[in-house]
Structure 1
């Protein structure tokens, strides 16, 4: 509705065949030869972005050898709106509350085991699930389909090119541990919007590299920091090596006993806006 009121056209079920950036605009070619011209093209087409590749932007990629099983489960007792994450030797196991007595599940296993589990019948899958989920919410039942997605770390070397910008998973793909990928995407969109709006108010060309580099500078360090953090956390928790377990347990115990440090980690996990974050994240107009 908002797009209709603002005169923003939406094209669904289509792809970008190619695009070419010029001095004053970018020409985007759709199937059938139709061409759209704009001042800026923003690619948000996922971690295996075709547009990122077409723009000639390289990415650092690392395969964890893990896959995330995604499905929805129904349980007898209410979840109380609580999300949980358990750190198991194969990887994190997270439950996210949905409406009624349902939870969304992100279950990390080795790629081999994940692919095997999604192919099992419901009885075996639910038995394996119950071993990790526990019995506190009663009997579990898988509802809907289940899929396994390979996990890895992908960081674009550049977020921008002339008249072109990356946002969301097209710019970065991180491990789902602590669920920070969505927060990074929100920050990208808010920072890009603020950059574009302020440049337009000053009469600047929103697609120029000089304008877009402000967005890149704003977002690249935070993205790199979060990518490294999730990588270290995954390596720290996804193993059962005794010395690492001892250090890990001592660290968690220390955090639990220091309220200020505990609050810091809670704010980070919740995506609470900081002083340098875009104003939209704090609900402020731009």
Structure 2
């Protein structure tokens, strides 16, 4: 055997893992930890340099973690690292109206006191969550991380999966998992197509500081162009996710800071006193995109790589963490039975578990957005009546609170706070 070929084989052997995960954002590390803690060796590949991923600067991004998602983070040892920076969501208020005209008198009000388990969820800043995942992975001996590299090729055969990186290195494993977002290269290379449509809306995302305390209350204000979510953060701050028609959103985001706030203030109202921007501003085009299959040859998709939906209910990351819990449980139980964890029979269990729930959530957010993002007087009267009805019936309210907390449906063990 010549020296170049020997070097290639040795290089591949140095990078063998049970599972290769492409994407080191949030779902990828969560899955890596869940799998490593049940005995699998995992390699996580991310295109971003590790220094950028560890950047602790506040940039305004934050996530609404349902109670079930918090339980998964607790079960995998991540929650203790961020608990002090997490803001409990104790109430949710949903209203309908026009910018500057105030909300409709009909509204929905959900209080965590209507369930026994605790807060409906927590708001956690992106910087804290990413850093916690990175620190937890470093401390887990079964996890290897490769940063600043991209995957340029993938191949599955009867022996496993081989990835080729942009520096020529190769990685081998039994199973490949794509956690690489809505434009998943993992899915594209596997020939998996997507279905969906564009909403013609763009989300403006930022964080604000306000004079008055929010008391842990999240607000969702529906206006004809799209919803405005005001989500409580620590220290008299809130995260804003504000949907507008795409062309209008572009114009708003291009405004100087003072002018941007002048557009936001009539939509936001004055119930929290004066507001000031904190951190950067972002925009995200809003669409619905679902992979036609969540699995392929020795491959599975998780999170946005499998499904991307409207942020109207703040369920994007929560849906991804349900994928994480389901896939980790399916693979771990299969491995304990001596099955090939990358076989189609095993991977189909994951797809069957998650596909219907995901499709139902995507359709619900789609219908909800279309129902509320308009100024049709008949639809407005109908939805105001519906909100008033739900708000007046304790049984319905409790059901919505449990849904918001992520406590409904066939929950994976990790989302119940139990070990696999």
Q: 1:53 to 1:279 in 2, by over 3 A?
A: same
The within-5 A match list for 1:38-57 is 38-57=173-192
The within-5 A match list for 1:118-267 is 118-267=253-402
More strand by share: 2
Tell me, in whole angstroms, the C-alpha distance in 1 between the residues paired with 2:189 and 2:239.
34
CA-to-aligned-CA distance 1:7-42 (integer Å, 9 cap, x gap): 311111221111101112100111111000000111
Say which structure, 1 or 2, has more relative contact order (CA 8 Å, 6+ apart): 2
CA-to-aligned-CA distance 1:223-251 (integer Å, 9 cap, x gap): 00001000000000001100111111111
Match of 2:69 in 1: none
Tell whether 2:203 aligns with 1:68: yes
CA-to-aligned-CA distance 1:129-168 (integer Å, 9 cap, x gap): 1111111111111122112110000011100011100000
Contact map agreement 1:273 1:282 (CA 8 A) in 2? no
Q: Secondary structure at the match of 1:11?
A: strand
Contact map agreement 2:149 2:167 (CA 8 A) in 1? no
Tell me, in whole angstroms, the C-alpha distance in 2 between the residues paired with 1:61 and 1:71.
27
2:406 is matched with which residue: 271, 278, 282? 271
Unmatched runs of 5 consecutive residues or more in structure 2: 1-134
Q: 1:194 to 1:251 in 2, by over 3 A?
A: same
Contact map agreement 1:29 1:36 (CA 8 A) in 2? yes
The CA RMSD over aligned residues, in Å, is 1.1
2:415 is matched with which residue: 259, 266, 281? 281
Tell me, in whole angstroms, the C-alpha distance in 2 between the residues paired with 1:21 and 1:42.
12
Tell me, in whole angstroms, the C-alpha distance in 1 between the residues paired with 2:266 and 2:223.
12
Q: Secondary structure at the match of 2:351?
A: helix
How far 1:5 moved relative to its partner? 3.5
Q: Could you state the TM-score of these two structures normalised by the residue count of structure 1?
A: 0.97
Which ranges of 4 or more aligned residues in structure 1 deviate by more than 6 Å?
none
Tell me, in whole angstroms, the C-alpha distance in 1 between the residues paired with 2:177 and 2:327.
9
State how many pairs are aligned.
285
